Amino acid sequence: MSTSATDPVLAVRGLVKRYGQATVLDGVDLDVHEHEVVVLIGSSGSGKSTLLRCANLLEELDDGQVLLDGVDVSDPRVDADRARRAMGIVFQAFNLFPHMSVLDNVTLAPRVVHGVPRGTADDRARDLLSRVGLADKADSYPDRLSGGQQQRVAIARALAYDPRLLLFDEITSALDPELVGEVLALVRELAGQGRTILMATHEMGFAKQVADRVCFLDGGKLVESGPPEQVLGDPTHERTRRFLRRIIDAGRL
């Protein structure tokens, strides 16, 4: 399939993912356009993380397609590693290498995977660490950082090769409450810079402030999608309303 100016950066078409007899994603369609922030919400087990992992080709699809800039990267004939290099993914767990300095964690992929010279990779990494507020931590090791600092390093690492698309999977869920704000502030800054972002989160207030579009998943289906003020403020589907009532009762919206 050829790329056109109107193609979304990411297009998911009829995505099905099963684990044994359990269908985790059931015919999901989703577009993410250039400079758009799309936020996935839903209960645990609704398929949000699986959707992100399938989009990044970390999981094999049982049916459907994942298109990046109009190209079907889920086609087995396509180089999946090359496609993944256009997407930066950050998980709940920081996944930093404990035996490497912060600087080496950020430069590893550009140097080893992309063949970027050490000096160039170091300069780029130091610039990114400065942008995420960690310029003074370049020579530190992960165990000397707070959880919020480690997650900001993970985001800097995802940015190190300037990906077309950022995928964030519940990146604040493993953090102490007082550290959540610093990571969300960084995501807010990236959104303000025009980054294309698809993220799953339980932070409804953040979704309301930053998302261009909110997508509610339930039982592996994309039940409702629209502007945050509509989906979070005046949802059209009863399943969405039930989910949000639980969130409101828990004081999270």
For residue range 130-152, list pLDDT tens digits in order: 999 999 999 999 999 999 999 99
Answer yes or no: are the C-beta atoms of 91 and 171 closer than 8 Å: yes
The total of structural domains in the chain comes to 2
Same domain, 157 and 168: no
Order of strands across the sheet that contains 37-41: 87-90, 165-169, 197-200, 37-41, 213-218, 221-226
Of 106, 137, 162, which residue constitutes the final position of a domain? Answer: 162
pLDDT band at 2 (very low <50, low <70, confident <90, very high): very low
Q: Report the CATH number at residue 176.
A: 3.40.50.300
* Within a domain: 92: no
Residue 60, pLDDT score: 93
pLDDT band at 248 (very low <50, low <70, confident <90, very high): confident
Interatomic CA distance for residues 195 and 163, integer angstroms: 9
Answer yes or no: are the C-beta atoms of 191 and 197 closer than 8 Å: yes
Q: How far is CA 11 from CA 26, 165, 206, 240, 250, in A?
A: 16, 12, 24, 23, 33
Domain assignment of residue 151, given as a range: 97-162
Same domain, 235 and 191: yes
Backbone angles phi, psi at 154, to 5 degrees: -60, -35
* Within a domain: 91: no
Answer yes or no: are the C-beta atoms of 43 and 218 closer than 8 Å: yes
Interatomic CA distance for residues 210 and 196, integer angstroms: 12
Same domain, 61 and 150: no
* Within a domain: 101: yes
What residues contact residue 177 under an 8 Å CB cut-off, 6+ apart? none
pLDDT band at 7 (very low <50, low <70, confident <90, very high): confident
> pLDDT tens, 179-193?
899 999 999 999 999
Query: Which DSSP letter does residue 176 get?
Result: -
